[in-house]
Structure 1
């Protein structure tokens, strides 16, 4: 029992130190970013939340491991105690040394595993900061901030483009729903075949879609989770008679339907947002960085 209490006290002391070190690091990060730099302050808020979440998760895992280790040791003590009944003093001492050795090996193995896990976390953090996803996000945040906008996350399920547009319309009190937007897209394409058919080819033959293939394409647009792209955006622009603007990290702003003199629907196109690749998000007005404790 004394050994378990000592381990708990040591872990609690370690956790207090790590929390104190993190708070010092956070304060240093805050001091390094000017208060009037809204883009960097927004990123700072996200970084702080991530660091705090990672530390809390690490502490919870360490406490769980310590608890499991303590329970295992107690069970082994009971079992070994029963097995040593009737043994002479020398045999009992040998058994006690064996138990101590096994417990020590378990602790050393867990410590090595934890060290390896922390190394993987550190490597992943560096990779994320340098990776294409993070860089894309930074570029988009900068572009959107110039329009006083920020990304509004949309779920990734194949319907993201339509969901993002509906999110924009709903913010104006004009939401239509996913099913209606898909139906209008497909109907417009069917009624204007000549505007879309030349851009659709069979991936196996390279030939332009046949009438049946085009109908199958429109049917998928209407009733499946088929991913939407430039053709569907063009169809929706005409069907809704609304301009659509699409922000991209490494390309100029795409403007569709500029002939319509109305407030544009604004989307964000991301190539590296998820493991599956391309994704559309909506936007919302840029929020001020919440008040922070400068103490």
Structure 2
């Protein structure tokens, strides 16, 4: 009957969503396996693609459940009571009772209905959990930044986020000689790393052999830093502190603030590191002065 079709569709959708999530994880793993572990450029760029895939799937699942629930609610009570009304050709309606079912069948039906509801709650909870992790991270960061009268300034997520955040911090200072574009920041970072290989090579190893990078591997790494959208991390930040002669601090939600270049006495460049900003993707933002300070709420 039609009611059974609606019930089955809802149960199958919950199971389908779980399967799609498993398939997505398998696809993500396959994507990671397809990229050599020592290819820093491609592995960092892969982060953006994975984040978008996961976000799109979560949004799709949430919308599908919302649509199905709106159409199923009106039929669910009739299905569970075992009664359905059917329209006759002349427009009249009559009650149609289900055939008598055994107690064992009723128990099986009840168990199936409970399982369907459990699957639905699990799938919805998984969607909400992803949003919840991001939300909690944002709250913790906002609390830390407010103590310094700061707030997050959003930076685009395109593989250049760390350099764009540094670029923004320098622009806020408005000091001659400190304004640098992303391209220049990348070039200067790579140049410094090449000129001080002994400071960086010990931290770069071939994931397949565990050996320190060869000269050619290190040059390729520096070339990626300079010419591609390879994602920047602590090694690049360390190089930037030397290039800019400025300390850099990185504020995180669940960890202590990372401070690099403390040998320089100037006011530090402040970045925000977000682990859950884009699903599986890691991201850097800049900061700016708090526009609505807490102490101004009562004024």
The TM-score with structure 1 as length reference comes to: 0.56
Report the equivalent of 2:136.
Answer: 135
* Cα root mean square deviation, aligned: 3.6
Is 1:232 aligned with 2:246? no
Moved over 2 A (4+): 94-98, 119-129, 289-292
Aligned residue pair count? 191
- Following superposition, the deviation at residue 276 of structure 1 comes to 3.6
What are the superposed Cα offsets for residues 139-161 of structure 1, whole Å, 9 maximum, x if unpaired? 11111111001111111111110
Task: Tell me which of 274, 279, 286 is aligned to 2:283.
Answer: 279
Match of 1:139, SS state, is: helix
Structure of greater Rg: 1
CA–CA distance in 2 between the matches of 1:135 and 1:245? 22
Match of 1:171, SS state, is: helix
Report the equivalent of 2:152.
Answer: 151
- Following superposition, the deviation at residue 252 of structure 1 comes to 1.1
What are the superposed Cα offsets for residues 147-183 of structure 1, whole Å, 9 maximum, x if unpaired? 0011111111111100000011111224311100000
User: Which structure would you say has the larger RCO, counting Cα contacts within 8 Å and 6 or more residues apart?
Assistant: 2
The TM-score with structure 2 as length reference comes to: 0.55
CA–CA distance in 2 between the matches of 1:268 and 1:230? 13
- Following superposition, the deviation at residue 189 of structure 1 comes to 0.2
8 A contact 2:160–2:229 mirrored in 1: yes
Report the equivalent of 1:218.
Answer: 222
Structure 2 unaligned segments of length 5 or more: list them: 1-62, 68-87, 93-120
CA–CA distance in 1 between the matches of 2:90 and 2:208? 72
- Following superposition, the deviation at residue 188 of structure 1 comes to 0.2
